[in-house]
Structure 1
């Protein structure tokens, strides 16, 4: 009985750790990324090049998870985005660009990710390059 319980707890622990290590933004099936400025006058940024998509999603995945109580202290977002996986599957996200950081919300999971200043600059550069 004890051995079964031990292996049950061990397998749950391994699954939990594996789940935490998984990348929240999967680039394997991504076909296109669209950044739509929150301001109506702004122009949408569409990125279809595979290398640019992988680079942006790798930058997204560098983000550290944030506690929701800190994440909700945000002003109006800078971009609303969409990762097109197929014609029927899209992953929506929201981006806030601040002075020394960027915050990304994965809307499906309601999970916030914090990018430091260097990663924020890298994200902006990749967005501009991808257009």
Structure 2
């Protein structure tokens, strides 16, 4: 009876794909691949002074910019919500926040504490530039 009371230990570590866990939790949006760059071979580059890396087309450049702008908050730490004494910060999704302008007193605490500096202070006209 005592031998059946314990489970056998399996020392193998199970590898978990971090990206899939973060995506499932809502921290990552759709994974967009970077634009493919085509470079000339080094044996061809030494023969001339032509550009050896292809320039992005306008469509590829726009797609690359959209990929960069797809990150959202970046941390998902919700420190801004925790630090706000007026409860003006609302977390819409793990990487999207909304600041209620009616409740915000512009104390700047969320701005100062954001680890990724994704919150900016906006002059509302109460203080001269």
Superposition TM-score tier, normalisation by shorter sequence: under 0.3
TM-score for both structures, normalised by structure 1: 0.26
TM-score for both structures, normalised by structure 2: 0.27
More strand by share: 1
